[in-house]
Amino acid sequence: MVFKEDGKMMVKDIARGYPADQVLKIGDQIISINGKAIPDEQVYQQEMNRLVMGDHLSLGIIRENKTLTIDLDFKERLTRDITLNYKGKRSLRSDGFEKVFVQDAAIPSDECGGPVFDSGGNFMGINIARHSRTATIILPLDVIKKSIAKMMDSAKS
């Protein structure tokens, strides 16, 4: 957990069993993530939400008045949680999206990308990720329309 204190982003707690547990210390100041300055919680959260399993993370920190760079690789944590031991697995990226909704659907993560319709046959969005054994993440129609409009505008330029 990182909080702003006296204008600095400070490590206040570290979740045990995660890669950061091995390299960060409570009281470390986070100054950058992958070269991007971290002035506040919002930027910190945005940068952390960009990361998915398999990504490399380079943290700039200040510890005991020394500037250090800590390199971490995001690896899937080993777990004994039986709800995560299912065929098809969770999508590598299933959170941190700006606007989505969730539906109950038991499909493999490699089958994401298809359209989603409501019971009346109306197109609601695109299935973009598998969140759990029985839930998938949907990119809603209004977000899709906005993205297509931006692409069309940039193609005209």
Q: Which domains does the chain have, with CATH numbers?
A: 2-73 (2.30.42.10), 84-156 (no CATH)
Q: How much is the pLDDT for 154?
A: 87
Q: Which residues of the chain have pLDDT under 70?
A: 52-53, 74-98
Strands 29-33 and 8-11: antiparallel
In tens, the pLDDT along 75-112 reads 655 455 545 554 555 555 555 566 777 778 777 777 78
Q: How much is the pLDDT for 69?
A: 94
Q: How much is the pLDDT for 90?
A: 55
Q: What is the rounded distance in angstroms from the CA atom of residue 52 to the CA atom of residue 99?
A: 18
Q: What is the rounded distance in angstroms from the CA atom of residue 31 to the CA atom of residue 35?
A: 9
Q: How much is the pLDDT for 35?
A: 92
Q: How much is the pLDDT for 75?
A: 65
